[in-house]
Structure 1
Amino acid sequence: MAPDPCAGRRRGRASVAPVSVSPVRRQDTLIVGGGPAGTATAIGLALGGKTALLVERERHSADPLCGGFLSWTALRRLERLGLDVAALGARRITRLSLIAGTRVVTTDLPAPAASLSRATLDAALQSRAQSLGVEIERGVHVRDIDGDGARCADGRLIEADRIVLATGKHELRGYPRETRSVDPIIGLRWRLTLSPQMMARIDGVIELHCFRGGYAGLALQEDGRANLCLAIRQSRFDECGKKPSGVVRALGEELPVLAERLHHSTRIEDSAAIANVPYGWRYDPAAQSTFYRVGDQAGVIASLSGEGISLALASGLAAARSLLTGETPDRFHATFLPVLRKPVTVAQTGMQLVERPVGAWLTANVAAMFPGLARVSAKAMRITR
């Protein structure tokens, strides 16, 4: 008997190979990244009557290395977003100490600033966004953005009419930042538990310790610990044995003022690190884009400026305004990115100056003789729009 070609169909679907279909979700606006830039965009949209889906790659609350200092411009933007950092326990900062070797020059900041951990700040911003109706999904790792939407590591496709890229210093596949450097920057952070006497001495101060091949910022945060954050050249890191512990040891021998802080630390926690920090990079507004870039995906300002969080918030709020008025990504970039040119350039010049011993010594002495000039320089690194 000849085989029946329809037998498989009559017996059901057993003979048909299963087809894997990735679930698809449709959104009006998708924000990729739950840091200050992404949440500022989401809050700005919600305040304007629009909601969005925000996806964050971390499943649990993280404590990113960068962004523990809030400038006066950042504080104004956070207030506009509905956050009271004093209620979160932020430490008030009113003075800057510039330290080059044994030379210590302290000057008043142009306006009060604050010190707050990213863990506390990010959690508060996300909570604020959710209170306004923003949906947040955690543990969603977006691998690619194309004409169809955002493709996730788990195979999902999130279709969206508008996409905001707010992934911070994490690059997205297919959209690398041209940040090649012969001697890139590494970011390192430690949390120090200081003696009560040392806490009293540095309370209200942000210290900038200059050394060959980098600089370090030190300030107290809301839980009473001191946040020590370094930007160090790869070559100098290699000199220190390619280990964070080697960096601490070397700087303790080289910088007497920092050595005193370390000596009065009852506990130094394990370090956190990030490689290839692209300070000075700005997205080219002439390049065509199908999504809105905010935060470090729009531009990366040197950390000595203390303006990183303010840049993130400013770009997020600007993106929200563009989305609410129907501006295209290209129009948004053409309007907002030129605002970054001056502060990013000034901060980059300052970084290149203080990471050289002669430049750091010169900067400290000029600041001592002309304190008003130091405040002018600080203002020049602000995102004012």
Structure 2
Amino acid sequence: MPDRCDVLIVGAGPAGNACARVLAQAGLDVLLVDQQPQGRDKICGDGLIPDAHAALKRLGLLDQVMSQSQHVTHVGCIGPRGGRIDVPGSLAVLPRRQLDNLMCQAAQDAGAKFLAPARFEKPLEDGQGRVNGALLKVGDALVEVQAQWLILATGAVPKALQAAGMCERHTPSGVALRGYVRAPEMVGKIKALEIVWGEAVRPGYAWIFPAPDNCFNIGVGVTDSHSAVGGKGSKKELNLRNILDAFVASYAPAAELMRVGEVVGDFKGAPLRCSLNGARWSRPGLMVTGEAAGSTYSFTGEGIGKAMETGMLVADAILAGRAKSQTEGEVRQAYELSLKALKPKFDLYHRANRVNAFPLLADILIWRAQRSPRLLQRMSGVLNETSNPGNLVSLKGFSRLFLE
């Protein structure tokens, strides 16, 4: 294995893979490492909404991903009283095991080297405290790899952030549970990305997404699952499996899916890091990207597209710095400014998260959208990131609902 490179990227998920591919295509010496072998599973809803499509297009991978995905034309929003509105969009579903494997291979095809399993232990530092690589555990051996830049794309689990001195919030923003159910009988019955709100899943939401091979991704997510206590946070009282069971009992399509289908593997839970909060974004020689930086939207729980986007922002900052002979500090500043430019949109999604806490708001939105083409267009704009989700659930927004 190499003992030095231009850029060492820890984490072969969407953010790390996207960053590696862009940098390798530009001719940089990139080493991408992960603690699990290529093609590892990842707990996720697997939905690819328009921002993910845009990122994949830039990476030159959209057609390849779409050829393996289940195509979907609508998000089905279902309220606690059973009201429904189908919001159109360019959508798809591909299990993360396949997506991450495809993207990791694409990074290697571009010239990046890949090493797994390799666990990040801590950053290496020079005499001035600048990060200049990382200590990795490869098998039973501890290996030092020198690098001009260390990129942490290590997801929601904070261990790597803590080891690197980048963790500002130890607890996650939310938690989710998902499983796969194979049910050929349900193909054609559940055709949209179904998002369900109600008392059974409050203060979160549930979903059923049609996936390839006659499978469905079913799960529940709870945002704001932890409350700050003494700086470290404490978990609220909740049991995701009980919430899933309550969802299945209260939503007829979910009950039918579980009755006629075959569960594939185990239901698995995972943390979420949202709203670009909870971690320092950079320090000398090191930048944090993807869900490690909080790239998941609070309201929707969508994170694949924004993970790729932030990974490419890291790459763009490094490449621009090389082209302009910028200092290390200028490169980090450019990256942080690009994240700050995204932050207002993340804040709006966090504001829209009140729908999860008060599901009757979803009923009102759905009821009005059924009668207002303009409101449906605005909801589609939220999906396509051309409308602000926070405006839909503000006091001003609700007053407008009855004027449209």
Tell me how far apart the structure 2 counterparts of residues 266 and 371 of structure 1 sit (CA, whole Å).
35
Query: In 2 relative to 1, CA 24–373 (structure 1 residues): closer, same or farther, beyond 3 Å?
Result: closer
Q: Does 1:249 align with 2:267?
A: no
- Equivalent residue number for residue 391 of structure 2: none
Q: 2:93 aligns with which of 115, 120, 143?
A: 115
- Equivalent residue number for residue 135 of structure 1: 113
- Equivalent residue number for residue 343 of structure 1: 345
- Is the 8 Å Cα contact of residues 179 and 278 (structure 1) preserved in structure 2? no
Give the deviation of 1:225 after TM superposition. Answer: 0.6
Q: Which runs of 5+ in 1 are unaligned?
A: 1-22
Give the deviation of 1:195 after TM superposition. Answer: 3.9
- Is the 8 Å Cα contact of residues 301 and 348 (structure 1) preserved in structure 2? no
Query: In 2 relative to 1, CA 152–121 (structure 1 residues): closer, same or farther, beyond 3 Å?
Result: same
Secondary structure of the structure 1 residue equivalent to 2:218 = strand
- Is the 8 Å Cα contact of residues 95 and 106 (structure 1) preserved in structure 2? no
Give the deviation of 1:347 after TM superposition. Answer: 2.1
Give the deviation of 1:288 after TM superposition. Answer: 4.2
Q: 1:355 aligns with which of 333, 338, 357?
A: 357
Larger radius of gyration: 1
Secondary structure of the structure 2 residue equivalent to 1:162 = strand
- Equivalent residue number for residue 149 of structure 1: 133
- Equivalent residue number for residue 220 of structure 2: 230
- Equivalent residue number for residue 78 of structure 1: 56
- Equivalent residue number for residue 200 of structure 1: 188
Tell me how far apart the structure 1 counterparts of residues 173 and 316 of structure 2 sit (CA, whole Å).
35
Tell me how far apart the structure 2 counterparts of residues 34 and 308 of structure 1 sit (CA, whole Å).
15
Match runs of 1:187-336 below 5 Å: 187-196=176-185, 198-203=186-191, 205-210=192-197, 211-232=201-222, 234=225, 242=239, 244=241, 246-267=242-263, 269-275=265-271, 277-282=272-277, 288-302=283-297, 305=300, 307-326=302-321, 328=328, 329-336=331-338
Tell me how far apart the structure 2 counterparts of residues 55 and 359 of structure 1 sit (CA, whole Å).
44
Amino acid at match of 1:252: V
Give the deviation of 1:61 after TM superposition. Answer: 2.3
Secondary structure of the structure 1 residue equivalent to 2:277 = coil
Q: More displaced, 122-131 or 252-261?
A: 252-261
Map Cα deviations across residues 304-342 of structure 1 (whole Å, 9 max, x no partner).
Answer: 536411111111222112111225352233321123213
Task: Kindly tell me the number of residue pairs found equivalent between the two proteins.
Answer: 353
Query: In 2 relative to 1, CA 176–36 (structure 1 residues): closer, same or farther, beyond 3 Å?
Result: same
Secondary structure of the structure 2 residue equivalent to 1:317 = helix
Query: In 2 relative to 1, CA 100–264 (structure 1 residues): closer, same or farther, beyond 3 Å?
Result: farther
- Is the 8 Å Cα contact of residues 48 and 305 (structure 2) preserved in structure 1? yes
Secondary structure of the structure 2 residue equivalent to 1:305 = coil
Tell me how far apart the structure 1 counterparts of residues 144 and 356 of structure 2 sit (CA, whole Å).
46
Query: In 2 relative to 1, CA 247–108 (structure 1 residues): closer, same or farther, beyond 3 Å?
Result: closer
Q: More displaced, 95-104 or 130-139?
A: 95-104
Match runs of 1:71-110 below 5 Å: 71-83=49-61, 84-85=63-64, 88-109=67-88
